[in-house]
Amino acid sequence: MKKILIVLVALFAMVAFVSGVVAQQTPETPAAAPKAEKPKAPKAMHFKGTVAAYEAGKMITVKGHKDKEMTFDVAADAKIKGEVKEGAKVTVTYKKDGDKMVATSISAAGAKKETPQSQKQK
């Protein structure tokens, strides 16, 4: 009987000390300081189609699959590859900025190179 009583007292003492340690919070613990959320960078998206309207350095309207038309503001530092003009096939890489879509890159499809056979037919 004494052994059981000693074991119970020892268990009670351990529980009391452990619960006291767990209840303490130090500034280093994550629960003490709220976690600062990292702002998520806007995901880059792509849109392919034919240029319907283009104003260099300002805006571009592209007509895509199933006549879906999208208008983008062109970023000041946007990378432009190829000759962008009305009727050209382009791929626009863009990011959403609030309710606006901002083009960060515009790639025009290159003109097809003439083969020696097509040159002979002329």
CATH of the domain at 77: 2.40.50.320
Report the number of distinct structural domains present in the chain: 1
The Cα–Cα gap between 10 and 23 comes to 20
Other CB atoms within 10 A of residue 84 CB: 17
**Residue 110 predicted with pLDDT over 90:** no
- Residue 17 falls inside a structural domain: no
In a domain, 91, yes or no: yes
Residue for token digits 């003009």? Answer: 85
pLDDT at 85 over 80: yes
Domain interval for residue 93 = 45-108
pLDDT at 79: 93
In a domain, 70, yes or no: yes
Q: Is residue 112 predicted with pLDDT exceeding 70? A: no
Q: Answer yes or no: are the C-beta atoms of 104 and 44 closer than 8 Å.
A: yes
Which has more confidence, 39 or 87? 87
Q: Is residue 36 part of a domain?
A: no
Does residue 66 form part of some domain?
yes
If you search the block for the tokens 């009583």, which residue do you land on?
5
Q: Indicate whether 79 belongs to any domain.
A: yes
**Residue 30 is assigned to a structural domain of this protein:** no
Q: Does residue 29 form part of some domain?
A: no
**Number of helical H runs and strand E runs in the chain:** 2, 5
6-59 pLDDT, tens digit per residue, is: 888 887 777 776 666 555 555 555 555 566 666 666 678 999 999 999 998 899
What is the C-alpha to C-alpha distance for residues 63 and 67, in angstroms, rounded to an integer?
6
